[in-house]
C-alpha cells in the first residue's frame, strides 16, 4: 500500500466550476466544493449525470478554470502542475493516433511536450511491457483490441511519471471480463507506483472495488455529498468481487445514490 503523506495532492476550498453563457453569466456545474486528497490515494468518484465528476477532473488537469474558490494541485496552481507534467489524463476513449504504432503513441507526450522527459522515467517499451503489451509495440491502433488500446493510453499517460493520474471512465466501453482484468492491473500499478489516482465511473462495483475512498457527488446543484473510507474493508489484502462485505457496500452506495 502506498505510503500516505501529510501534504494533500489536491486541495479545494469553496470551489465552483462551470461555464459562462453568452451573456457572461456564470453557470455552475459544481458548487462550493471542499476536498483534500492525500498523496498516494486512490479515489473513485460516482454520482448522477451532470453532478460535475468529469468537470472536477478537468479543473485538476488545468483544462477548466474555476468560477470561484481555490484549487491547489501538489501545492501550487493547476497550471503549474500541468507545466511540470505532474498530472496525466486518461479518457474514456483511448484517443490514439491511428497513424502511429503503440510504441509511437506512448512516446507522443515526449515528442510534442515542451518540458523535457524526466531522466528517471521508464521508456515507452518498458511501459508497454508493464501493461502486458510486450510484442505488440509496432502494431497500429486498428490492429489492437479495445482493452489493448486502453492499455496503450494508460502507458502514454505514465510516460512522464505523473504524480497524479486522472481517469474519466477509462473502461466504460469495454466488456465486463476485460474491464475486470484491467481493474486488477490498475490496482497492481497503483500499489507499485504510489501515484495519486482520481477515477470517475458510473459503475458502483468498479467504484467500491477500486477505491481506497469512494467520493459521492450529488446533482442539482453538483456538490460533494459524502466520502466513504474503504480501507477497513480492504485491510486484509486483495478483495474478491464476491465478498459479501463488498456486496453490502455496493448496496449501501446504491441506496445513497438514489438520494442524490
Select from 230, 93, 212, 228 the least CA-distant residue to 154.
Answer: 93
Per DSSP, 60 falls in state H
Residues 129-180: tens digit of each pLDDT: 988 899 999 999 999 999 999 999 999 999 989 999 999 999 988 889 989 9
Q: How many angstroms separate the most distant Cα atoms in the chain?
A: 55
The answer to whether the CB of 10 falls within 8 A of the CB of 66 is no
Q: All 3 cell numbers of residue 220?
A: 442539482
pLDDT tier at 111 (50, 70, 90 boundaries)? confident
In this model, does residue 21 exceed pLDDT 90? no
Residues 116-131: tens digit of each pLDDT: 555 556 789 999 998 8
Q: Which domains does the chain have, with CATH numbers?
A: 1-76+185-260 (3.40.50.300)
Q: Compute the distance between CA of residue 204 and CA of residue 128 in angstroms, rounded to an integer.
A: 29
In this model, does residue 112 exceed pLDDT 90? no
pLDDT at 1: 42
What 3-state class would DSSP assign to 151? helix
> Within 10 A of 232 (CB to CB), how many other CB atoms are there?
8
The answer to whether the CB of 208 falls within 8 A of the CB of 196 is no
Q: Compute the distance between CA of residue 12 and CA of residue 243 in angstroms, rounded to an integer.
A: 34
> Within 10 A of 148 (CB to CB), how many other CB atoms are there?
20
Residues 24-60: tens digit of each pLDDT: 787 889 999 999 999 999 999 999 998 999 999 999 9
- pTM, two decimals, is 0.90
Amino acid at each position: 500500500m502506498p505510503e500516505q503523506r501529510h501534504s494533500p495532492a489536491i486541495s479545494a476550498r469553496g470551489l465552483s466550476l462551470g461555464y459562462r453563457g453568452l451573456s457572461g453569466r456564470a453557470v455552475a456545474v459544481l458548487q462550493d466544493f471542499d476536498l483534500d486528497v492525500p498523496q498516494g490515494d486512490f479515489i473513485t468518484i460516482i454520482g448522477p449525470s451532470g453532478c460535475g465528476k468529469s468537470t472536477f477532473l478537468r479543473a485538476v488537469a488545468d483544462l477548466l478554470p474555476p468560477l470561484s474558490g481555490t484549487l491547489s494541485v501538489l501545492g501550487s496552481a493547476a497550471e503549474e502542475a500541468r507545466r511540470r507534467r505532474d498530472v496525466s489524463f486518461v479518457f474514456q476513449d483511448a484517443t490514439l493516433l491511428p497513424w502511429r504504432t503503440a510504441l509511437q503513441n506512448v512516446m507522443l507526450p515526449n515528442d510534442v511536450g515542451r518540458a523535457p522527459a524526466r531522466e528517471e522515467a521508464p521508456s515507452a517499451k518498458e511501459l508497454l511491457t508493464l501493461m502486458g503489451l510486450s510484442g505488440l509495440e509496432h502494431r497500429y491502433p486498428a490492429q489492437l483490441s479495445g482493452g489493448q488500446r486502453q492499455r496503450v493510453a494508460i502507458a502514454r499517460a505514465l510516460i512522464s511519471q505523473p504524480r497524479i493520474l486522472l481517469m474519466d471512465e477509462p473502461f466504460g466501453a469495454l466488456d465486463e471480463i476485460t474491464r475486470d482484468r484491467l481493474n486488477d492491473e490498475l490496482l497492481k500499478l497503483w500499489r507499485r507506483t504510489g501515484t495519486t489516482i482520481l477515477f470517475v465511473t458510473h459503475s458502483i462495483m468498479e467504484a467500491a472495488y477500486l477505491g481506497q475512498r469512494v467520493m459521492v457527488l450529488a446533482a442539482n446543484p453538483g456538490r460533494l455529498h459524502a466520502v466513504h473510507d474503504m480501507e477497513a474493508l480492504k485491510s486484509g489484502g486483495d478483495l474478491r468481487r464476491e465478498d459479501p462485505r463488498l456486496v453490502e457496500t455496493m448496496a449501501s452506495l446504491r441506496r445513497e445514490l438514489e438520494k442524490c
